[in-house]
Structure 1
Amino acid sequence: MQINEQTLIFVVNIAKEKHVARAEDFRGIKHGKTLSFTNK
């Protein structure tokens, strides 16, 4: 798979209590809001 201008990347930071997710394009520009959620 090749990353190009039509690629949307979802970045997820898994932590002990609070997790964070966001979407960004191939240039690293964020799209939409960052989501925070817990595993409880």
Structure 2
Amino acid sequence: MAHEQEDIQPISNDSLKPEPKYKILVYSLSWFLLSALSFF
């Protein structure tokens, strides 16, 4: 249980800055689309 409580703290900190996560998703999606377009 102690490990789960420790994980809750960084999650709360990340919730204050959700931008980096969204940026990572955008970059991954954009790269996937570019690779798909180049493949076709």
Q: TM-score, normalised by structure 1?
A: 0.21
- Structure number with the higher helix fraction is 2
Normalised by the size of structure 2, how large is the TM-score? 0.21
Comparing both structures, which one devotes a greater share of its residues to strand?
1
Which structure has the greater CA radius of gyration? 2
Higher relative contact order (CA 8 A, sep 6+): 1
